[in-house]
Chain A
Amino acid sequence: MARFEYYGKKGFPKVDLEELQGKLIVIEGTDGVGRSTHIGLLKQWLENNGHAVLDTGMTRSMLAGEGLKAAKVGHTLGWLTMSLFYATDFADRLENEMIPALRAGFIVLTDRYIFSPMARALLRGADPEWIKGVFEFALKPDMVIHLRVGVQELITRVVQTSGFNYWESGMDLHLGEDMYDSFVEYQTRMLREFDKMAGEYNFQTIETSPNIEEVFEQIRNRVEPILQSRLPRARTDSQPATIITH
């Protein structure tokens, strides 16, 4: 039995799922919620514990990453095109980065997965069945952690750090008079989409607070059990197995 399966019936031609062994952990959540901070912490902790880790993130693909960034600058991409561009970027990363790492037994930490691009498309009028179908080639991760934050709290954090950005404020949707109004409305809708997906895709939702240690503690507690669920493997070293008694 292969450890991994696709959301749909078929995925990448020529990829043999039987060969994939590692773990795939997704961190999802809106901008400013602290995804990259926690991925950094998680990576460090996992490596300290002897796991090989690959971290990757949206719009970082060799193929489409740069093109996507360039396309966003002009604001001329329609949502349909943007959705498929994200899907291309994602497919490139999944096939050429994540799958090879899983084959080699790595723990793959990905900053966002199919859920952010799906939510963005849905907010812009995509047919739910259609967008789900497009991303059907995605592997079902071992765990999806949704770092959640209320909109008011998010505003406080965003104002203090990066400020409002065009896309994260959904400015293309003309939701409000200015960037602030638009941001509030857009992020409220995004949160609603994520909450809707939480059940269907089995999200581990963590309410984030400004206390990084506290949040990371919760993430670690969720991740720990799946690390131990490795398939039993024959020991390759010559030392006798130590029996731990409680």
Chain B
Amino acid sequence: MTHAMKMYGKHRFPGKLFIVEGIDGSGKSTQIALLQKWLESEGYVTFFSEWNSSPLVREVTRRGKKKRMLTPMTFSLIHATDFADRTEHHIIPPLKSGALVLADRYIYTAFARDVARGVDSQWVRAMYQFAVKPTIGFYFKISLDEAMKRILGGRDAIKFYEAGMDLKLTDDIEESFRIFQGRIIEEYEKMVAEFGLVVIDASLSIEEQQEQMRHIVTGALAGTKKTRIRKWLDLSIMVKKVSPR
């Protein structure tokens, strides 16, 4: 039957949850991927969870974005829906099993973006009360100029909603991106103290940042179970690769 709804900070699971936050171009995805590699090599069971990953909701979000049907409120709600599905399917079950869950973007992304779009900050925080509080939330702090340099240098063009073009701040997408992401940085800065996010200086070298992350994560892993299964598997693969020669 139904259970009382568990709220932020009230969940108790054997697993641990590590999340990364920051604007596009902060390098957070690179860092969490490296962290996962390392945790696996140390013998932990990990599970990776991404923003916008619920198959059921993704189609609606994709269509809404493509057709530019989303308003600040529906943008906020559809992402909360996606996040709820992700919580129910991809975050809580692995945490119950004792795994280490790694998430690229979490509820703080929603708080930053939605509030930057004019949605009420208290309302959006209250809506996400069902979220599991992370063991550690990392915030990759970077200047807007540096992030812009990294984004514009590579990958594809800036996307409509990422640039906050729906807010009609200006017709110039790069300028809109700058204003909108600037607002998002302001929101992140406020959340560092509010949610106890751990700040990583994203202007440091990749190795230095990773070193800091590993150090902090190690401190949080006392008593977490490891499994050797994956190590054995890795060894058997190596043997196969070597033998035919």
Q: How far is the CB of A130 from chain B (nearest CB, A)?
A: 6
- Identify the closest chain B residue to A67 (Cβ): B60
Tell me if A71 and B56 are in contact (CB < 8 A). Answer: yes
B80 at the interface (CB under 8 A from A): yes
- Identify the closest chain B residue to A9 (Cβ): B120
- Identify the closest chain A residue to B3 (Cβ): A125
Tell me if B60 and A64 are in contact (CB < 8 A). Answer: yes
Tell me if B123 and A81 are in contact (CB < 8 A). Answer: no
A246 at the interface (CB under 8 A from B): no
Q: How far is the CB of B202 from chain A (nearest CB, A)?
A: 30
B5 at the interface (CB under 8 A from A): yes
Most B CB within 10 A of own CB, among A67, A76, A81, A123: A81
Tell me if B60 and A78 are in contact (CB < 8 A). Answer: no
CB-defined contacts of B130 to chain A, threshold 8 Å: 80, 130
Q: How far is the CB of B63 from chain A (nearest CB, A)?
A: 8
Q: How far is the CB of A125 from chain B (nearest CB, A)?
A: 3
Identify A67's interface contact among B3, B56, B72, B88, CB under 8 A: B56
| Interface set, chain A 54-72, CB cutoff 8 A to B | 62-64, 66-67, 70-71
| Interface set, chain B 86-137, CB cutoff 8 A to A | 87-89, 117-120, 123, 126-127, 129-130
Tell me if A81 and B84 are in contact (CB < 8 A). Answer: yes
Tell me if A63 and B57 are in contact (CB < 8 A). Answer: no
Contact with B along A94-134 (1 / 0, CB 8 A): 01100000000000000000000000000111110010011
CB-defined contacts of A134 to chain B, threshold 8 Å: 126-127
Q: Report how far A62 CA is from B64 CA in the complex, Å.
A: 9
Tell me if A133 and B118 are in contact (CB < 8 A). Answer: no
Are A133 and B123 CB-contacts (below 8 A) given A78-B88, A95-B71? yes
A12 at the interface (CB under 8 A from B): yes
Instruction: Report which B residues bind A (CB closer than 8 A).
Output: 1-5, 7, 54, 56-57, 59-60, 63-64, 69-74, 77-78, 80-81, 84-85, 87-89, 117-120, 123, 126-127, 129-130
Selected A-B contacts with CB under 8 Å, 13 pairs: A11-B73, A13-B73, A13-B119, A14-B118, A63-B63, A70-B59, A77-B56, A77-B85, A87-B81, A88-B74, A125-B2, A126-B5, A130-B129
Beyond A91-B73, A127-B129, A133-B126, 19 additional contacts (C-beta under 8 Å) are: A13-B119, A63-B70, A64-B60, A66-B60, A67-B59, A71-B56, A81-B54, A81-B56, A85-B57, A85-B81, A88-B60, A88-B77, A95-B71, A96-B69, A127-B4, A130-B126, A136-B123, A173-B1, A173-B2
Closest 9 CB pairs of A and B: A13-B118, A125-B2, A67-B60, A78-B88, A88-B77, A10-B120, A84-B81, A81-B85, A81-B84
